[in-house]
């Protein structure tokens, strides 16, 4: 993520290019008296029947809504109810918009619909009309190099149980920023909380500062538990071995004082994880950052943190050993930040297989017993169903031998963990016989490409030219969009990518002047300084720019968590906009963003590169409705029912790596008044 050394001329600028979208998926791996833009604290809001007060819908991160006014029978009648423009298109200008991605999901708190723009402008809307109630711009650093992905996926709230009546900041909105601050504002008015840090903000300071603006930032929503607000960080991939540490910070929700820090690359010699970093390599390594969204179990006082890979991604000779806590799900004590348990999904990760999806919490009915579980989807297409209290796989796991013979100086784990159930959601191999094309000509070209590459299935280590086939690619499987869960039917819905990737390691002497990352012609080359190799990545594409792997290239999958079986799977996305004539051809497309589920028996998801928001039948997977969005839809929708009417809300905008159409519209869909009243 984040490319140094690339010029503006090399930006992805055509929404219609499959190759451009696939390249983007590689990297998918304020004093209280200050007046906000608009303050309407006296507004009376209708009662909320079904809310959405967390980034993941519920505190468990299930993205489930009890709203059911919109259902299978009437979803086709959805119409645009209101639209709001954030004004960012005019406010920021074309260059900054092109250097940003819209991935945010609003939350509904105390009658305000609250969200952040990619530039951390915090906005509250009337949820029934879309009118702005207040806004706050913390004036983030806009000097980050091109390309840099300005981004804000969401915000969080906290309600003070000790508060006596309506007081300023009795309910707070927390937002983490691109320039590593935590901002706290009053949920009703948008005024900064005077007792939180300095002027309502805390600046996070790392032991080793970044080398340039934007190398470290925060883009995901904070998590709040046991009066602690915790944040991870985004760190630019593949630049250097000694990248900044992926520190997770926990600060006091009232004062902003630092309560604890967790270092996924262990720094304490007494930490048991230190034994998995051989030859003192933990002191020379960085990243292993929590760039995705954490989830908290407030009752147990546990924060579940999905941890990414250590630096750099594709060569680990300088960090020998299994490298705990990298590429793991780590359960942290919310009060102290100490690890309770960790489950490593990839030993010594040299494939950029970050744990990128937000975990979700559920209670699983199995063999007559209720088991509290945390479910973790991964880029490999694995679904790990773990006991929430001890991290043990509920369906079991097995260590399987994996390909060896890495590059000189590399260290590889002889085995990797595989879940016994569920089965992988995406293919783990790609053979010449699997080559696909629109015609015999491009199919033959794909077959020759596959034949030329080192390919021994998943976990094949990277090699020099002609390169190694990475299956699945580093964008997944599942990515940061994560999954939704219907507890009544124990049904999990998740979107996946199914395209393969080519990785070529370049000897350092061939790229002596490269210090960052360069993109051109559908490929990327990154320096990975501190190693003997740079890294060249590209997606396995035909001469026509389509994936050589067979479709669907994007898919929506329903998994029964009671037994690990797949209930249904359908292609997600159409390639109609790439055809010379209009034809809805659902071969699936690359996708970023996640699904939601409602008690109306529906799954809603955008995410695809074709720009549509869709509704699917929860039980069958049949597509029931779709609408074209005014701009890119690489975010997760949300829904709520207020004043007797259910709304489906989607924040749209440009996405840097998809090259999706620019825009700044928040749109809400609802049934016509007559249909809603008849419900």
Question: What is the CB-side half-sphere exposure of residue 558 using CA atoms within 13 A?
Answer: 22
Q: What is the DSSP string of 130-147?
A: --EEEEE-------PPSS
What's the token pair of residue 207?
């032991």
Q: What is the mean pLDDT of residues 248-253?
A: 98
Q: Is the pLDDT of residue 167 over 80?
A: yes
% residues pLDDT > 70 (the chain): 90
For the chain, the distance separating the N- and C-terminal CA atoms, rounded to the nearest angstrom, is: 46
Q: Is the pLDDT of residue 655 over 50?
A: yes
Backbone angles phi, psi at 167, to 5 degrees: -135, 155
> Which is higher by pLDDT, 475 or 601?
601
Q: How confident is the model at residue 216 (pLDDT cuts 50, 70, 90)?
A: very high
Q: Is the pLDDT of residue 624 over 80?
A: yes
Q: How confident is the model at residue 30 (pLDDT cuts 50, 70, 90)?
A: very low
**Tell me, what DSSP letter sits at residue 546?**
S
Q: Which helix (H) or strand (E) holds 230?
A: strand 228-231
Q: What is the mean pLDDT of residues 191-215?
A: 92
| Neighbour count for residue 644 (Cβ, 10 Å) | 14
* Lowest model confidence (mean pLDDT) among 25-34, 283-292, 522-531: 25-34
Domain spans, the chain: 8-678
pLDDT in the model for residue 678: 58
* Lowest model confidence (mean pLDDT) among 319-328, 421-430, 641-650, 657-666: 657-666
Q: Which residues are catalytic?
A: 352
* Lowest model confidence (mean pLDDT) among 52-66, 160-174, 587-601: 160-174
Q: Is the pLDDT of residue 153 over 70?
A: yes
Alpha-carbon separation of residue 168 from 45, 189, 312, 504 (angstroms): 19, 9, 45, 56
d(CA 651, CA 548): 32
Provide the b/e sequence for 409-427 (b: ≥16 CB within 10 Å): ebbbbeebbbbeebebbbb
pLDDT in the model for residue 322: 98
* Dihedral (CA of 307, 311, 312, 316) sign: negative
Q: Is the pLDDT of residue 7 over 90?
A: no
pLDDT in the model for residue 35: 34
Q: Is the pLDDT of residue 482 over 70?
A: yes
Q: What is the mean pLDDT of residues 215-241?
A: 94
Q: What is the mean pLDDT of residues 254-279?
A: 96
pLDDT in the model for residue 40: 41
Contact 352, 29 (CB under 8 A): yes
Which residues contact residue 367 at a Cβ distance below 8 angstroms, ignoring those fewer than 6 apart? none
**Tell me, what DSSP letter sits at residue 475?**
T
Which residue carries 């207020």 as its tokens? 642
The CATH class, in words, for 8-678 is mainly beta
d(CA 3, CA 13): 16
Q: How confident is the model at residue 619 (pLDDT cuts 50, 70, 90)?
A: very high
Backbone angles phi, psi at 419, to 5 degrees: -70, 140
d(CA 307, CA 194): 33
- Dihedral (C-alpha) 361, 616, 117, 83: value to the nearest 10 degrees? -140
H helices of 56-194, in order, are: 88-92, 94-98
Question: What is the CB-side half-sphere exposure of residue 334 using CA atoms within 13 A?
Answer: 21
pLDDT in the model for residue 395: 96
Mean pLDDT of the chain: 90
Q: How confident is the model at residue 45 (pLDDT cuts 50, 70, 90)?
A: low
Task: Quote helix, strand, coil % in the chain, to nearest 5.
Answer: 10, 35, 55
Which residues contact residue 391 at a Cβ distance below 8 angstroms, ignoring those fewer than 6 apart? 329, 331, 341, 342, 343
pLDDT in the model for residue 518: 62
Backbone angles phi, psi at 92, to 5 degrees: -95, -35
* Dihedral (CA of 322, 327, 329, 332) sign: positive
Q: How confident is the model at residue 663 (pLDDT cuts 50, 70, 90)?
A: very high
d(CA 441, CA 437): 8
pLDDT in the model for residue 79: 98
* Lowest model confidence (mean pLDDT) among 163-172, 304-313, 441-450: 163-172
What's the token pair of residue 591?
């996708």
% residues pLDDT > 90 (the chain): 80
Contact 503, 468 (CB under 8 A): yes
pLDDT in the model for residue 103: 97
pLDDT in the model for residue 520: 56
d(CA 308, CA 246): 9
Q: Is the pLDDT of residue 125 over 60?
A: yes
Contact 310, 353 (CB under 8 A): no
What's the token pair of residue 487?
């507890």
pLDDT in the model for residue 166: 78
Strands 602-605 and 122-125: unpaired
Q: Where are the beta strands (DSSP E) in 388-467?
A: 397-401, 415-419
Q: What is the DSSP string of 255-284?
A: T--EEEEE-SS---TTSGGGGGSGGGGGGG
* Lowest model confidence (mean pLDDT) among 18-22, 179-183, 342-346, 437-441: 18-22
Q: Is the pLDDT of residue 552 over 50?
A: yes
């Amino acid at each position: 993520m984040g490319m140094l050394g690339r010029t503006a001329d090399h930006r992805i600028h055509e929404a219609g290019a499959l190759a451009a979208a696939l390249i983007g998926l590689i990297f998918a791996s304020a004093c209280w008296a200050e007046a906000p833009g608009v303050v309407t604290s006296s507004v009376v809001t209708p009662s909320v029947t079904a809310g959405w007060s967390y980034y993941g819908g519920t505190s468990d991160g299930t993205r489930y809504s009890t709203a059911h006014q919109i259902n299978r029978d009437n979803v086709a009648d959805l119409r645009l109810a209101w639209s709001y423009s954030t004004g960012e298109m005019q406010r920021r200008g074309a260059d900054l918009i092109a250097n940003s991605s819209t991935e945010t999901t609003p939350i509904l708190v105390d009658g305000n619909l609250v969200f952040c723009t990619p530039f951390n402008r915090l906005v509250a809307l009337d949820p029934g009309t879309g009118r702005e109630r207040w806004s706050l711009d913390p004036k983030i650093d806009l000097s980050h190099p091109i390309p840099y992905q300005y981004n804000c996926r969401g915000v969080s709230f906290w309600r003070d149980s000790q508060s006596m009546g309506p007081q300023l900041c009795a309910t707070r909105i927390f937002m983490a920023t691109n320039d590593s601050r935590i901002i706290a504002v009053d949920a009703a008015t948008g005024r900064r909380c005077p007792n939180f840090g300095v002027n309502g903000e805390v600046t996070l300071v790392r032991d080793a500062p970044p080398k340039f603006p934007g190398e470290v930032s925060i883009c995901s929503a904070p998590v709040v538990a046991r009066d602690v607000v915790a944040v991870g960080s985004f760190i630019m991939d593949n630049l250097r071995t000694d990248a900044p540490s992926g520190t997770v910070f926990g600060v006091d929700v009232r004062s902003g004082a630092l309560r604890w820090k967790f270092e996924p690359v262990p720094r304490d010699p007494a930490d048991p994880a230190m034994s998995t970093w051989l030859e003192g390599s933990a002191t020379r390594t960085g990243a292993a950052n929590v760039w995705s969204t954490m989830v908290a179990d407030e009752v147990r006082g546990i924060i579940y943190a999905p941890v990414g890979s250590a630096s750099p991604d594709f060569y680990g000779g300088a960090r020998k050993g299994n490298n705990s806590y990298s590429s793991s799900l780590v359960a942290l004590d919310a009060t102290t930040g100490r690890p309770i348990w960790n489950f490593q999904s990839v030993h010594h990760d040299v494939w950029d297989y970050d744990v990128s999806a937000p975990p979700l919490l559920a209670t699983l009915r199995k063999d007559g017993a209720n088991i509290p579980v945390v479910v973790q989807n991964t880029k490999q297409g694995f679904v790990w169903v773990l006991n929430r209290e001890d991290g043990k796989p509920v369906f079991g796991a097995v260590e399987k031998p994996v390909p060896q013979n890495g590059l000189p100086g590399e260290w590889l784990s002889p085995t990797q963990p595989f879940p016994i159930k569920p089965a992988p959601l995406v293919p783990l191999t790609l053979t010449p016989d699997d080559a696909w094309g629109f015609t015999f000509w491009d199919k033959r070209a794909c077959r020759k490409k596959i034949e030329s590459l080192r390919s021994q299935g998943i976990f094949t280590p990277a090699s020099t030219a002609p390169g190694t086939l990475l299956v699945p690619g580093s964008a997944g499987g599942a990515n940061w969009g994560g999954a939704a869960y219907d507890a009544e039917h124990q049904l999990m819905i998740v979107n996946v990518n199914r395209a393969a990737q080519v990785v070529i390691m370049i000897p350092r002497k061939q790229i002596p002047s490269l210090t960052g990352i360069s993109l051109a012609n559908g490929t990327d080359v990154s320096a990975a300084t501190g190693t003997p190799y740079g890294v060249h990545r590209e997606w396995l594409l035909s001469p026509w720019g389509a994936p050589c792997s067979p479709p669907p290239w994007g898919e929506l999958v329903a998994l029964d968590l009671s037994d690990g079986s797949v209930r249904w799977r359908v292609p997600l996305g159409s390639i109609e906009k790439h055809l010379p004539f209009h034809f809805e051809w659902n071969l699936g497309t690359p996708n970023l963003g996640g699904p939601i589920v409602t008690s109306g028996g529906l799954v809603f998801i955008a995410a695809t590169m074709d720009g549509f928001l869709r509704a699917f039948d929860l039980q069958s997977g049949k597509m029931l409705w779709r609408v074209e969005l005014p701009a890119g839809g690489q975010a997760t929708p949300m829904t709520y029912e207020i004043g007797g009417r259910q709304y489906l809300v989607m924040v749209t905008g440009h996405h840097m790596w998809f090259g999706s159409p620019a825009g700044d519209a928040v749109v809400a869909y609802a049934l016509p008044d007559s249909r809603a009243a008849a419900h």
